[in-house]
A and B are shown apart, each in its own frame.
Chain A
């Protein structure tokens, strides 16, 4: 990296939480919960044109046990909600959640018997992304917001939400 030329065999002094947060925020492994058109924008965000890997979170994990960032992108119906809850419970701590788009955040235009009016009623959401669907830039902004949240956490905080 060239860093060893400057530092040599020296020692760096830092706080543990700063080091851990630095590692966590730059290696977010998202669990995509894509159920609608927002998922298409999420795929665009991951692909080469927008390239979410520039921000260290390109390793999409389809197993919740290997992921620490859930991106709920799309409508959640009453039949899907138990699945979403189970997958969120399967994700190990620490974990964060992005509610992407109008439907996941508030139900959107679908104010009907079958659609959950915002997933934040049942799982803790850290960042909401407005839009229908949001542009890839918005999702990248959401991930950057998550990174800000991660950078302020303490190492002693082990549980999520209140």
Chain B
């Protein structure tokens, strides 16, 4: 897909205020947006008349700590149009102070677990998510380990287990 594609042009006209940048790299279009109206943006792309992006291929996040980006985190939506065989990438920037974004679970069911994974590892809270629990780390885990400021060797989680002891029969 090119950034001159009609679906991108229509998108720019409709959500001009929300767009931070439109990039094209090797035939891939990536649109960076603000996170406030992300649900409207995604719904518009999903229900586009000519090129409906009806499949959420992936949902993940990036931590741009100490890098020159509009906000610290970006939630990345990889969308795919089964009808047109086209792909588009939406990056919604989320700040560190108010680390939350609307859930896309109502638009695509598979967003449920993907958002749980992003919450688990990045600590980005998804509003109106039906079941926002950790999915990979243990339930009693504290912290979000894929954040760049999380220590690689952890905060002692890997050594906080009881040692096996033998109980003497009384």
Query: How many Å from the CB of A99 to the closest CB on chain B?
Result: 13
Q: Which of B153-167 contact A (CB under 8 A)?
A: 153-155, 157-159, 161-164, 166
- List of B residues within 8 angstroms of A49 by Cβ: none
Of A85, A112, A124, A161, the contact of B153 (CB 8 Å cutoff): A112
Bound CA–CA A69/B154 (angstroms): 32
Also in contact, A121 and B159, with CB within 8 A (given A78-B138, A114-B145) = yes
Q: How large is the interface on B (under 10, 10 to 19, 20 to 34, 35 or more residues)?
A: 10 to 19
Q: How large is the interface on A (under 10, 10 to 19, 20 to 34, 35 or more residues)?
A: 20 to 34
- List of B residues within 8 angstroms of A114 by Cβ: 137, 145, 154, 157-158
- List of B residues within 8 angstroms of A89 by Cβ: 164
Assess whether A121 is in contact with B163, with CB atoms less than 8 Å apart: yes
Interface assignment of B152: CB less than 8 Å from any CB of chain A? yes
Assess whether A85 is in contact with B158, with CB atoms less than 8 Å apart: no
Assess whether A113 is in contact with B154, with CB atoms less than 8 Å apart: yes
Query: How many Å from the CB of B83 to the closest CB on chain A?
Result: 41
Interface assignment of B151: CB less than 8 Å from any CB of chain A? yes
Interface assignment of B15: CB less than 8 Å from any CB of chain A? no
Interface assignment of A150: CB less than 8 Å from any CB of chain B? no
Residue contacts A-B, CB under 8 angstroms, 29 given: A78-B138, A78-B141, A78-B158, A78-B161, A79-B137, A79-B138, A81-B161, A82-B161, A85-B161, A85-B162, A85-B164, A88-B164, A89-B164, A111-B153, A112-B153, A113-B145, A113-B150, A113-B152, A113-B153, A113-B154, A113-B155, A115-B158, A116-B158, A121-B159, A122-B161, A122-B164, A123-B164, A161-B164, A161-B166
Known interface pairs A85-B161, A113-B150; 16 further A-B residue pairs with C-beta atoms within 8 A, sorted by A's residue number = A78-B137, A78-B138, A78-B161, A81-B161, A82-B161, A85-B164, A89-B164, A113-B152, A113-B153, A114-B137, A114-B145, A114-B158, A117-B159, A124-B164, A159-B166, A160-B166
Residues of A near any B CB (own CB < 8 A): 78-79, 81-82, 85, 88-89, 111-117, 121-124, 159-161
Residues of B near any A CB (own CB < 8 A): 137-138, 141, 145, 150-155, 157-159, 161-164, 166, 168
